Amino acid sequence: MNYRWVLCGLCFSIGLAGCGGGGRAEIKDERLTVGRVQSEIKVGMPSAQVVEILGSPNIVTTDEKRREVWMYDKVSTDRVNTSSSSFGTLIILGKNSQDTSSSQRQRTLTIIIKYDEDKKVRDLAYNYTQF
């Protein structure tokens, strides 16, 4: 059986399943960066403007005074696979060898924005890790 066709069909099916959407809130990767938060999110800014800049938050809660607290939480993993192969023949005998290696990097970004009673930013904090 040709596994390439099976793999291609599986990828196509997963792609089609991902196309159905609905009104789910999403954080766009290009919007959520430490630099963007530092330069564009300011104390006193209305919540509507924060949504325009960062998109919808992952989590919305309230504090002890019933003021909103928004959390943006993004985790990304980058995996790089490298492979090399060689083949040698000597008349009839042959040897095929293949070396593969991979490296992985994970990054997390958590942003916490606290609002006052008028739904304006009163405090913000963020945490960025990479390992």
Tell me the per-residue pLDDT of 28-83, one tens digit each, with 9 for 90 and over: 456 688 899 999 999 999 999 999 999 999 999 999 999 999 999 999 888 877 76
Name the pTM for this structure: 0.61
Give the span between the Cα atoms of 92 and 75, in whole angstroms.
Answer: 52
pLDDT at 61: 97
Domain 26-82+98-131 has CATH 3.30.1450.10: yes
Local confidence band at 15 (pLDDT 50, 70, 90 cut-offs): very low
Q: Measuring CA to CA, how many Å separate 22 from each of 19, 96, 117?
A: 10, 49, 31
CB 73 within 8 A of CB 60: no
Give the span between the Cα atoms of 8 and 16, in whole angstroms.
Answer: 12
Give the span between the Cα atoms of 78 and 106, in whole angstroms.
Answer: 6
